[in-house]
Structure formats: structure tokens, C-alpha cells
Amino acid sequence: MIDLGSINSPDDVKKLNSEELCELSQKLRETILERVSKNGGHLASNLGVVELTIALNFVFDFLEDRIVWDVGHQCYAHKLLTGRQKDFHTIRQFGGISGFPRMSESEYDAFGAGHSSTSISAALGILEGRDKTGKDFKSIAVIGDGAMTAGLAFEGLNHAGHLKKDLIVILNDNEMSISRNVGAMSSYLNRIMTGDFYKRFKKDTMHLIESIPKLGETVSKIAKRIEDSFKTMFLHGIIFEELGFNYVGPIDGHNIDNLIETLQRIKGNTDPTLLHVITKKGKGYEFSEENPAGFHGVGPFEPDTGEKIGSSGTPSFSSVFGETVTELARRDPRVVAITAAMEEGTGLKDFAKTFPERFYDVGIAEPHAVTFAAGLATQGIRPVVAIYSTFLQRAYDEIIHDVCLQRLPVIFAIDRAGLVGDDGPTHHGVFDISYLRHIPDLCVMSPKSRIEMKQMFDLAVKLDSPSAIRYPRGNIIEELELLTMEDVSMGKCETLTEGDDVGIITLGQTVHPAYKAAKRLEQAGINATLINIRFIKPLDMDRIADVAKKTGHLIVVEENAAAGGLGSAILEGLNSAGLNRTAVRIMGLPDNFIEHGDQSILRRLYGLDEEAIYNSAIELLKKDSSS
């Protein structure tokens, strides 16, 4: 009986026999399931790579060799086998280990990755660096078939084939990225099997086999039975062979003995090698096998039933977005929706069912999604591009060059804006205000409530220019529904409270703590004007200037990097208006990457909660009165 506690490094894995390795795979699955059900995290993807992870750690020495996981969320078993078992209960918790590979966390993590399709380029760079420095080790990229839809993966493959380094790429093929894979690559085999070349090849080959005396009929039957295997081995590998790779596979990704034998065989290859491994996402847990997309990234759940624990009764911003864009599409036939492998995550599942001919999942290809939308917009279509804030960064040039420069009416639905919590620095959406607000002709909005979100999308569809609507990860706050004082009007803010002592300017998810702080200030005898700015661009500087003149004190609260954010925009506006004597305090995020942890912990830590806003106002007024 294997005790998982006795496995403290890959050296311990190497001591196990075949039966013990199979037992280890079961122990790893049980541990991952038990912990993710409590902490939340990425479940289905991790359950699918258990045997592959064991085999890799059995064959290679990852204190010397380098492994790059793509996407990094499939690294839980790797962490358990590389000395982090005692800390595994802290995964994705504030102060605990990360849910992604992190070079600063372990010497076994060769490269960090929270976004997809980076592994081949990184692993190739590691190899080239090895050769430049005279070292000797192997470099391995483990990439999911969903991540292979991104152009960056093929850029890496192309360069690797040119350099002819001994790179090992393992294609983890589970037919899924987050949502089910789409596009030409995933249907490549089906198309080529029905093509004239294959039909002619098959006909000529079978004719040749059947012409062999005595053995022909028997061999023909065998050939028909292995036809499917032949198709994959011979034809699926063509594209990789053409790129300069030795193609091996496909092999069963849950057969440890076969995995080990194959890895040992290709370990000594001196040319680029691609090993095609077939796995099942969610393997070993009934609910995740049946619903791998639903169990891709999960919060705490009951493992016996798969039911979520502690879910709020109010809808999430993502689900409200899904309802809103579906309603828009019913009223306006020009509206289409585009996402990048995030149909469920962005709330577009019902839209896809209702309007399948107007829904486009382009795979993990954010730059393509944006430029595709730009092309649609030239033909009078109103494309809504739903992408997480952190992933939209990957399409920055396309936003500028293909959409905004040509002033095309593309609508960006930016989910997960602000602090997202347990996934950490690769997933926090804390740069979008900074990277969007300076782009000419782009309208940038942020709703605090369901009502505002619906009105903002109504407005965006009517515009003949690009727009972006950013909203947080989390649920609608009912109290804010009752606080909507005015309808959304282009470039105009909303005043929630009036006062002569201090102005508080905020937006989106920080409106609620700011409102509670304003009410506390009122009880302390300090009257605040609370502005829900709504529009980051165009900015309502007339109203801001009025508040600055009236109070002489402004506090700007934003869940974004302070560098280049809303506060910076307001300072620029005050400077232009000659109001440089206004005392301004910007409450945003510091100039460093924000760690993982519960959203409430991070907001308290970085001074974005009610208490911090209240104290900041007190200190600002006290400082000004004493100067």
C-alpha cells in the first residue's frame, strides 16, 4: 500500500514498480479531488494528466531537465510529486502555494504560465540558452490540444523545426481547452480522411494487399481493423512532420507502463519530437468526466454530489452579461457574440444555444477574435467580443490597429476586471483601465449594477465607434440596484451622495465599499460627494472639476493599477483645468504583481475596502487642516 506521504520527490517515484505507480495515480487523484473540493481550483484538467505526470517524473530528472506546463493549471500532480505535498492544502489560498507553476516557488518549476500556448516558445528558448551556456539537459513542453489553436504555439513549432533542437513536445489531447475545441485544427483529421488523397491511397493499398496469394484476405481483415489507428498515425502526424518534428503516437495517456516506455525511447532523440498523448479530461471523477467544462475551474463543492457550496443567491456579472447580450440579439439582428474558448466562463452558453448561427467560439486565439470582429464590423455587424481582462492583453495590438484606428463599432465585454482572487497574478484584471483609456476613439465604461450593465450595452450597440464595458468577477450586489439614481448617458457620471467636505470618485466593484464609507463619514460629521464615474472615457471632467472646486479634496478609488489608471486620468484633467491645488489621494493597486488570495483579503490588504476608504478621507482632511 502506497503512502502518498512517503513520496517527497521524483526520486521516490523512480523507486516504484508498475503496480505501485498505478496505485500512486489513484492516490494523487483522491488528493487533488479532496483539496479542490475545499479550496476550489482547476479540477478536470489536473485529473486528466495524472499518469502522464507520474511517467514524466519517473523518466526525467527535473532538477536538471526542464518541463514547461501549458496551460500551467494542470500542474497539481506535478506539485504533489515535487516536494510540495505538505503545503498542498494551502493551494490557491492567501500565503499558500500557487495554482500555477511559479519559478520562485520551486526549483522544479522551470517556467511560469497562467495563459495558454507559451510552452513551446519558452521550452525552445530554454534549449537555446542551454546550448549557449554549455549545459546538458532535456527541455519538455506539455501542451493541451486546446492551446494548440493559438498562433503562438505554431510560431514556436515553426522555429523549433528550423533550429532542429532536441525539443520534446507532448501534445496532451483531450479534445478540450476549457470549452470543447473548435476550428480547423480539431477537425483536421476528419476532413483529411474524407479527401481524395486518402481515398485513393486506401483503395490502392487494399487492392495491393488483397492481391497477395493466400495471405491477402487475412491481411485485408487485419488492415481494416487497424484502419483507424493507421489514419491517426500516418495522417495526423503530417502537419508536425512538415514542421520538422518526429511524430510519435498517439498513445494512451492513462497507461503508465506505455507512457514510461515511450518517453524512455524518445528521451535520446536529437531532433524535435512531438509525442501525441490521448487523455480524458476529468478522468476518475464521474461528475468531471461528464461535465469537464463545468469542472474546469470550480469553487468549493461537495465531492459526493458535485454540487457547489455556498453559492450566492444573486446572479454573477457574467450571467447578467449573458442575459443582456441575448436580449440585445433578439432586438437587433446585427448583434453577434465572439469568445475565445470561454463559452461558459463568459456567460454565453445560452446565447450559443439561442443563436448558434450568430455565436463564434474561435478557440484560444484572442488576437484573431478581435480582428475577426473588426472584419465583421466593416459589414454593418455589431460584434460583442467577450474576453477576460487578463486574456484581452494578448490582443492589444489588434485593439489599436484593427479596431480603434479604423473606428469600427466593436463592443468589448471585459469580464474579470479587477482582482479575481485565488488564481493570482496571471489572472487579475488590474491593467485594463491603464491599457485602454489612452486609445483614441474608444469609449470605456464600468457598471456597478445589473441595471447599469444593461443600459451600457444598449448604449454601446447604438455607437458607431468602438466601446469597452469592464465588469468584475463576482455577484451582483442588490443594494446597488436600489442606488441607481440616473439612467446611463454618454460620458456622464452619477452622483450618489452630496457633500462639501470631500469628493470620492469610484466605479464598478468599488462603488459599494465607497458608498458604505461615505455613510460612515456622514455619521462622523463629514459630508462626502460620492461620484460613480461610470465612464473612464470620455471622462466627465466638468462634474469632477465642480466637486474639486467645492470640496478641495478628492479621493479616487479603483481596482486597477494606480499607474495610468482612473486616478491618473483625473490628475491630468485637473491639471488641464488649472485645479492643481486640489488635494488628491489615489487609492489603487501598487506597482507590483498582486498575489493570489481571496478577494476580500486582497482588498483589505491593498486598501480598497470600506475601512481603508473611510480612514483615507479622515487622514486627507486632517493632513490638509494641519498644513
Q: What is the pLDDT of residues 131-183, one digit of tens each?
A: 999 999 999 999 988 888 888 998 999 999 999 999 999 999 886 444 444 44
Count of domains observed in the chain = 3
Domain contains 439: no
Q: Say which amino acid occupies 201.
A: F
Do 254 and 363 reside in the same domain of the chain? no
Domain contains 483: no
The pLDDT of residue 211: 56
**Are 40 and 92 within 8 A, CB to CB?**
yes
The pLDDT of residue 186: 41
The pLDDT of residue 225: 45
Task: Given the residues 343, 366, 452, 558, select the one marked as catalytic.
Answer: 366
Q: Which of 54-63, 119-128, 187-196, 439-448 has the lowest mean pLDDT?
A: 187-196
> In the predicted model, what is the mean pLDDT of residues 323-350?
96
Do 283 and 344 reside in the same domain of the chain? no
Task: Tell me the average pLDDT of the chain.
Answer: 88
Domain contains 429: no
Do 268 and 122 reside in the same domain of the chain? yes
Q: Is pLDDT above 80 for 386?
A: yes
Contacts of 234 (CB under 8 A, 6+ apart): none
**Are 555 and 616 within 8 A, CB to CB?**
yes
Grid coordinates in use for 530? 460620492
Domain contains 379: yes
> In the predicted model, what is the mean pLDDT of residues 434-454?
96
Q: Is pLDDT above 90 for 313?
A: no
The domain that contains 337 carries what CATH number? 3.40.50.970
The pLDDT of residue 273: 94
Domain contains 430: no
- Indicate if 281 belongs to the active site: yes
How many CA atoms within 13 Å lie on the side-chain side of 460? 34
Do 118 and 170 reside in the same domain of the chain? yes
**Are 585 and 613 within 8 A, CB to CB?**
no
Domain contains 277: yes
Residue pointed to by grid coordinates 484584471: 429
Label each residue of 198-217 as H, E or C: HHHHHHHHHHHHHCCCCCHH
Do 472 and 531 reside in the same domain of the chain? no
Tens of pLDDT, residue by residue over 592-608, are: 999 999 999 999 999 99
Do 515 and 596 reside in the same domain of the chain? yes
Q: Is pLDDT above 70 for 111?
A: yes
Q: Say which amino acid occupies 79.
A: K
Determine how many CB atoms are found less than 10 A away from the CB of residue 218.
11
Q: How confident is the model at residue 295 (pLDDT cuts 50, 70, 90)?
A: confident
**Are 451 and 320 within 8 A, CB to CB?**
no
The domain that contains 526 carries what CATH number? 3.40.50.920
Cα separation, 119 vs 127, in Å, equals: 12
Do 364 and 498 reside in the same domain of the chain? no
Q: Is pLDDT above 60 for 188?
A: no
Determine how many CB atoms are found less than 10 A away from the CB of residue 71.
26
Task: Given the residues 66, 394, 473, 534, select the one marked as catalytic.
Answer: 394
The pLDDT of residue 539: 97
Do 365 and 276 reside in the same domain of the chain? no
Cα separation, 510 vs 517, in Å, equals: 11
> In the predicted model, what is the mean pLDDT of residues 395-422?
97
Q: Is pLDDT above 50 for 325?
A: yes
Percentage with pLDDT > 90 across the chain: 69
Domain contains 14: yes
Cα separation, 161 vs 521, in Å, equals: 65
Do 474 and 594 reside in the same domain of the chain? no
Do 323 and 292 reside in the same domain of the chain? no
Distances (CA, A) of 67 to 55, 75, 110, 394: 13, 11, 6, 23
Do 142 and 167 reside in the same domain of the chain? yes
Domain contains 16: yes
Q: Which of 95-104, 305-314, 400-409 has the lowest mean pLDDT?
A: 305-314
Residue pointed to by grid coordinates 482588498: 603
Q: How confident is the model at residue 625 (pLDDT cuts 50, 70, 90)?
A: low
The pLDDT of residue 212: 55
Q: What domain range includes position 270? A: 4-180+237-298
Do 523 and 583 reside in the same domain of the chain? yes
The pLDDT of residue 307: 85
pTM of the model: 0.87
Length of the chain: 627
DSSP 401: I
The pLDDT of residue 238: 78
Q: Is pLDDT above 60 for 526?
A: yes
Distances (CA, A) of 493 to 224, 438, 488, 496, 543: 70, 19, 8, 10, 8
Q: Which residues of 513-534 are buried (b: 16+ CB within 10 A; e: fewer)?
A: bbbbbbebbeeeebebbbbbbb
Q: Is pLDDT above 90 for 381?
A: yes
Grid coordinates in use for 266? 524518445
